[in-house]
Chains A and B, each alone.
Chain A
């Protein structure tokens, strides 16, 4: 099974601290995503990456940056944490290729594997 591992399940940080959230996937997926989830707002896309060193802004990139130096790792960085960044952060990955490297039907583009989430509290 594809596994998406997020480095920290729970974090508590102070306002102004720099925060790193790490995500690693073990199935050679091309695409990786960072979402945040807040009550009443659902999941919102922060950034995504479809290749090493490539990144695209999602719907709410302000206050965040990302890094993808290796295919399996996608990091979310909060340069200066603020209380409104208290949230559940979810990393996900996807691929259009099966484990044999064969291109699958386009419907698989929206099949994401999520990590367990990192609950960040900023005080």
Chain B
């Protein structure tokens, strides 16, 4: 898996967009970028993933640079409930078996301020 680098912590004002960066300069062509988050004392929650194109779902948008060496997760209108640790993971997709050893690094602690 490609190594990912994220800031340790970030603050965001409630109602504003939260932009969480991730560097993955050694990502290979078959590796997707995944974002998960973990609210305190809960299990991780999948947010979004992408390969090359920008992606959007009901939770967030994922912007991947053209060279795929970095990406940004955007929470368009952050709320207090978005306070969590956000993990960026680069990993190949696969069919068949299930050696899904997701490696969660230290992530970014996003603190949404009222």
With contacts A107-B49, A110-B34 known, is A43 near B102, CB below 8 A?
yes
Chain A CB within 10 A, most for which of B42, B43, B100, B103? B43
Decide: A110 and B43 in contact? CB cutoff 8 A: no
Q: Which stretch of B21-29, B75-83, B86-94 is in the interface?
A: B86-94
**B6-49 CB contact bits vs A (8 Å, 1 = yes)?**
00000000000000000000000000101000000111111001
With contacts A90-B43, A117-B42 known, is A112 near B101, CB below 8 A?
no
Complex CA gap A119/B34 in Å reads: 26
With contacts A42-B103, A117-B41 known, is A109 near B46, CB below 8 A?
no
Complex CA gap A56/B51 in Å reads: 28
Q: What number of A-B contacts does a CB cutoff of 8 Å give?
A: 76
Chain B interface mostly helix, strand, loop or mixed? loop
Question: Taking CB as reference atom, which chain A residue is nearest B42?
Answer: A116
Question: Taking CB as reference atom, which chain B residue is nearest A9?
Answer: B41
Complex CA gap A49/B106 in Å reads: 26
Number of interface residues of B (CB under 8 A): 27
Known: A103-B95, A119-B41. 20 other contacts (CB 8 A): A30-B98, A31-B100, A48-B99, A50-B97, A56-B99, A94-B98, A106-B92, A107-B32, A107-B49, A107-B50, A109-B93, A110-B89, A110-B93, A111-B49, A113-B46, A114-B43, A116-B42, A116-B43, A117-B41, A117-B42
| Nearest 6 pairs of A and B residues by beta carbon | A106-B93, A114-B43, A31-B98, A50-B98, A107-B93, A107-B32
Please, could you name 14 A-B residue pairs with CB atoms under 8 Å apart, sorted by A? A30-B98, A33-B100, A43-B44, A43-B103, A59-B101, A90-B43, A90-B44, A96-B95, A105-B93, A106-B92, A107-B93, A109-B100, A111-B46, A112-B100
